[in-house]
Structure 1
């Protein structure tokens, strides 16, 4: 019996060590970095270099490609298949048996090997947290064949105020990282993009193919919310922006190589000079449960894709990501890369500005506000692959709706940095003074950033005196007869709430202690937030 047990244990060990695993191999250095830094045009397009110059961003070793001799030696190693590259993280995503992967540690230039299965990493925590049932958020979307128009999803953001000023995304480039873009080159709502050569290119990082008009139809619908154009049916939020289309997601399966594909695509987008990356993908659970993330991983620094997204932001790019569609599940929190600190994570609301039940919530595991902002994701108006205008649900669509508006805003303020544009968006949002982990900072008002509050009302608005001793007075358009004003502490506690009118626009602050406070002002067609100093 003892011999049988020993044989069984040996057989189990052989099977375990012969099973293919996914892992990342990180390198110690880039020995030829200075040669590339001396000639940056070998690494980056002029537009990419200009973005850095305009935002005072210095080149560094993360811009340098992975050392080719290192790649070749790993590729030549027994039983190793290279799945993806990352110059930003100086790593390769590899696949092989545990024994063959471990053998790479003997290479002098290898810094470390990290298995996707955390249990195989000697310093890793045990994966004993509750495994979640979250999947890629795009798989949760549903389509209802109800025709309509896209006015509400733009007007909710006061985006028409930018469009009326001819800020429609012209001159800005958006990279869409998704699961596929079939029929974008043929369907009617994309005809304007094709005819005007606004699709600048793309790549299928899954199949390693130049054909990106293939794959899952999800990316087609996503693109339509920004670049779609069909009069009286669908107008995208950035109809005059240009686009790169990158396939990073393989729909039938879930594997961490998709995170590596995403980072590789983001690096390509950076090198091409894009301004905005939008991604309606989210990662939490994988087909192999040993690879799945847990909530504690959602801290902005653990997940490969989230680290890549943060580096993209450091290069001057604005990264916009879906919060996820897991709000009604046992694990309702945002996934990756939505957990990254600088990513603008977008949740979903209904047409009535109520949080969609499915929209994933925050905070990040380390306690940061997530999602960051909200837009319409319930009954969002999109084009399907056949050019039909339909409605569909998901943060997959609230995310690109926002990304398109960002392109318009950045067109209006071309000298602003990505950090400044991001902050402008947060400060324009209707819950900026009192954010929470259902709505984040709320619904942005893109029109207010121009001082144009709405096409329906005048943009006359002021608060005085400020600093104030006993009262503040709110002056606003005569078309707004009533307004609700709330005063919050710096910790977000509501201290005062009062309805005011043009005839009686005064609010007493006499009861407040001296210090800094935030106000929100809501009237029909006009929303404002700001600071009040009590003397």
Structure 2
């Protein structure tokens, strides 16, 4: 009997070990025309407005995975369906290799199968240049915390000259940020996040790992990350976008490293897109897995190989900015950034210390196809975060924190220039960085200067001439002039000044030449709309 039990245990262990992860890619979306005709069944109005503002058309990538296909895959013998992606039209499954291979044979709608262990895929074999190293999993966040030093986060924003945005009133208001991470314990109770809660700035969230709404749990890494953007303890700690609104998504299971986390990340990014999120912060990266057969090589960091990278690139094409930590492998044998930071359009963030010196742990670029990574740098060594237990500020290390420091300032900068596209915003930030003309493998383009980016972006609107009508000076301290080139009264225009949120602040009928006093206005960005008949023009006006 003992031998029989031993044999059964052995056979069971073989069966468990034989379970493979794979992505099943589907050929089409039969319901696409129905969804495309009813876009609000796919995306919220806010998401559609973001697309319209950036002239991004809807396409079949926005259409959900066909339900009938998903149900057939889910019900197939020996198959467990774990996640799905509308962007990539794919379903993540687990099962024995033979059962997974049968999907291609049995279902005509299956286009191809990619195994996480690419030695099993028909398209790939393990070559000398792509041998995977054995890897013993360690909690990727276990070395984040260092000593407790109470204080404030002043240097974190001043290094980037981001405080100038705050001084002008750009603090993230009406910007929506999704934080994709490993958990958010005590965000619902800590004093540092009370302002977010009281002002309803936490818009929702989801735990994709456990498939439930209890996102205020699991690993504290997400709490620390969120604090660098949104925490507020007056006089002690203020995040880089304290007035932004947030979605909190858990996709990372800190106790293990498995390919499913990539698929859950893509699901979360798709959710963020559908909700109209502007900026995603992802302080996560993937290189090696508990099963070394799934681990990546440097060759795979080419911006088009890993599932998460392909998903992230599509996410940026939808009009969002995805800010991702470059990784903490600079001092290790791996050395390079992880996925999805290798994606061409993902904004990858390295780390420096308080004096701007590169952190030795900050991961290197370039990508394996020769592109500059990281994009830019922010404070990430001995950086302040809010402790998830005490609620006080303490120091920590990692590009996990330089990423949210940067993400918050990016949100404020985009708030200042809402008419710019995501790609334009990222490029202006790169151009403001101190190594833009001479990037290095670890620094990328260096440390951005948001004051410089702001001023240079404004310079194109110093004097705005539209339809023979001028606004000057711009920026303005107290009074600006509306002046027609042609003084004929028949050319008079109606002028309305709006806040960036669309609130009407001043309305002037039949303006010909007018000095407007806006001394009472707060510093910040305003929109001046001029109308004549059915013709409308809008110019941005900056109040210093």
Normalised by the length of structure 1, the TM-score is 0.81
Alignment of 1:281-320 (within 5 A): 281-320=284-323
Provide the rounded CA distance (Å) in 1 between the counterparts of 2:424 and 2:327.
26
Structure 2: state its 5+ residue gaps. 1-9, 460-544
Structure 1: state its 5+ residue gaps. 1-10, 454-458, 461-535
Q: SS of the residue aligned with 1:119?
A: helix
Please report how far the alpha carbon of residue 19 of structure 1 lies from its aligned counterpart in structure 2 after TM superposition: 1.2
Provide the rounded CA distance (Å) in 2 between the counterparts of 1:449 and 1:189.
30
Are the counterparts in 1 of residues 364 and 373 from structure 2 also a CA contact under 8 Å? Answer: yes
Alignment of 1:497-516 (within 5 A): none
Q: SS of the residue aligned with 2:203?
A: strand
1:92 aligns with 2:91: yes
Please report how far the alpha carbon of residue 175 of structure 1 lies from its aligned counterpart in structure 2 after TM superposition: 0.3
Residue 63 of structure 2 corresponds to 64
Q: Give 1:141's match in structure 2, choosing from 140, 144, 167.
A: 144
Residue 209 of structure 1 corresponds to 212
Please report how far the alpha carbon of residue 388 of structure 1 lies from its aligned counterpart in structure 2 after TM superposition: 1.6
Please report how far the alpha carbon of residue 135 of structure 1 lies from its aligned counterpart in structure 2 after TM superposition: 6.6
Cα-to-partner distance string for 1:368-405 (whole Å, 9 max, x where unaligned) = 11111000000111101121210100000000000000
Residue 385 of structure 2 corresponds to 382
Residue 396 of structure 2 corresponds to 392
Provide the rounded CA distance (Å) in 1 between the counterparts of 2:104 and 2:139.
32
Provide the rounded CA distance (Å) in 2 between the counterparts of 1:48 and 1:218.
28
Residue 412 of structure 1 corresponds to 416
Provide the rounded CA distance (Å) in 1 between the counterparts of 2:97 and 2:38.
39
Are the counterparts in 1 of residues 231 and 238 from structure 2 also a CA contact under 8 Å? Answer: yes
Residue 183 of structure 1 corresponds to 186
Q: SS of the residue aligned with 1:252?
A: coil
Alignment of 1:6-85 (within 5 A): 15=14, 19-85=18-84
Alignment of 1:193-342 (within 5 A): 193-342=196-345
Provide the rounded CA distance (Å) in 2 between the counterparts of 1:420 and 1:249.
30
Provide the rounded CA distance (Å) in 2 between the counterparts of 1:138 and 1:155.
26
Cα 1:16/1:211, change in 2 over 3 Å:
closer
1:423 aligns with 2:427: yes
Residue 520 of structure 1 corresponds to none
Residue 118 of structure 1 corresponds to 118
Are the counterparts in 1 of residues 139 and 256 from structure 2 also a CA contact under 8 Å? Answer: no
Provide the rounded CA distance (Å) in 2 between the counterparts of 1:145 and 1:245.
25
Please report how far the alpha carbon of residue 146 of structure 1 lies from its aligned counterpart in structure 2 after TM superposition: 1.0
Please report how far the alpha carbon of residue 17 of structure 1 lies from its aligned counterpart in structure 2 after TM superposition: 9.9
Q: SS of the residue aligned with 1:143?
A: coil
Residue 371 of structure 1 corresponds to 374
Please report how far the alpha carbon of residue 338 of structure 1 lies from its aligned counterpart in structure 2 after TM superposition: 0.6
Residue 176 of structure 2 corresponds to 173
Provide the rounded CA distance (Å) in 1 between the counterparts of 2:446 and 2:279.
21
Are the counterparts in 1 of residues 132 and 295 from structure 2 also a CA contact under 8 Å? Answer: no
Provide the rounded CA distance (Å) in 2 between the counterparts of 1:332 and 1:37.
44
Residue 103 of structure 1 corresponds to 102
Please report how far the alpha carbon of residue 137 of structure 1 lies from its aligned counterpart in structure 2 after TM superposition: 4.8
Residue 497 of structure 1 corresponds to none
Please report how far the alpha carbon of residue 232 of structure 1 lies from its aligned counterpart in structure 2 after TM superposition: 1.9
Cα 1:347/1:135, change in 2 over 3 Å:
farther
Provide the rounded CA distance (Å) in 2 between the counterparts of 1:38 and 1:265.
24
Cα 1:135/1:439, change in 2 over 3 Å:
farther
Q: Give 1:362's match in structure 2, choosing from 355, 361, 365.
A: 365
Are the counterparts in 1 of residues 224 and 387 from structure 2 also a CA contact under 8 Å? Answer: yes
Residue 499 of structure 1 corresponds to none
Q: Which moved more, 1:138-147 or 1:209-218?
A: 138-147
Please report how far the alpha carbon of residue 132 of structure 1 lies from its aligned counterpart in structure 2 after TM superposition: 7.0
Are the counterparts in 2 of residues 432 and 441 from structure 1 also a CA contact under 8 Å? Answer: yes
Residue 482 of structure 1 corresponds to none
Please report how far the alpha carbon of residue 138 of structure 1 lies from its aligned counterpart in structure 2 after TM superposition: 3.2
Alignment of 1:477-516 (within 5 A): none
Cα 1:367/1:396, change in 2 over 3 Å:
same
Cα-to-partner distance string for 1:211-251 (whole Å, 9 max, x where unaligned) = 11011000000000000001222110000000000000001
Provide the rounded CA distance (Å) in 2 between the counterparts of 1:297 and 1:140.
26
Cα 1:27/1:18, change in 2 over 3 Å:
same
Provide the rounded CA distance (Å) in 2 between the counterparts of 1:418 and 1:305.
20
Please report how far the alpha carbon of residue 123 of structure 1 lies from its aligned counterpart in structure 2 after TM superposition: 1.6
Are the counterparts in 2 of residues 17 and 98 from structure 1 also a CA contact under 8 Å? Answer: no
Provide the rounded CA distance (Å) in 2 between the counterparts of 1:325 and 1:31.
43
Residue 441 of structure 2 corresponds to 437
Please report how far the alpha carbon of residue 136 of structure 1 lies from its aligned counterpart in structure 2 after TM superposition: 7.1
Please report how far the alpha carbon of residue 130 of structure 1 lies from its aligned counterpart in structure 2 after TM superposition: 5.0
Q: SS of the residue aligned with 1:270?
A: helix
Residue 131 of structure 1 corresponds to 133
Q: For this pair of structures, how many residues does the alignment match?
A: 446
Residue 345 of structure 1 corresponds to 348
Cα-to-partner distance string for 1:116-146 (whole Å, 9 max, x where unaligned) = 0111012213065252759775344123111
Provide the rounded CA distance (Å) in 2 between the counterparts of 1:142 and 1:130.
29
Are the counterparts in 2 of residues 137 and 282 from structure 1 also a CA contact under 8 Å? Answer: no
Residue 8 of structure 1 corresponds to none
Cα 1:64/1:231, change in 2 over 3 Å:
same
Q: SS of the residue aligned with 1:105?
A: helix
Residue 4 of structure 1 corresponds to none
Q: Which moved more, 1:219-228 or 1:17-26?
A: 17-26
Are the counterparts in 1 of residues 312 and 343 from structure 2 also a CA contact under 8 Å? Answer: yes
Are the counterparts in 1 of residues 132 and 296 from structure 2 also a CA contact under 8 Å? Answer: no
Q: SS of the residue aligned with 1:53?
A: helix
Cα-to-partner distance string for 1:177-231 (whole Å, 9 max, x where unaligned) = 0000000010010000000000000000000001110110000000000000012
Q: SS of the residue aligned with 1:175?
A: strand
Please report how far the alpha carbon of residue 450 of structure 1 lies from its aligned counterpart in structure 2 after TM superposition: 2.2
Normalised by the length of structure 2, the TM-score is 0.79
Q: Which moved more, 1:141-150 or 1:52-61?
A: 141-150
Q: SS of the residue aligned with 1:401?
A: helix
Are the counterparts in 2 of residues 85 and 264 from structure 1 also a CA contact under 8 Å? Answer: yes
C-alpha RMSD of the superposition = 2.1
Q: SS of the residue aligned with 1:222?
A: helix
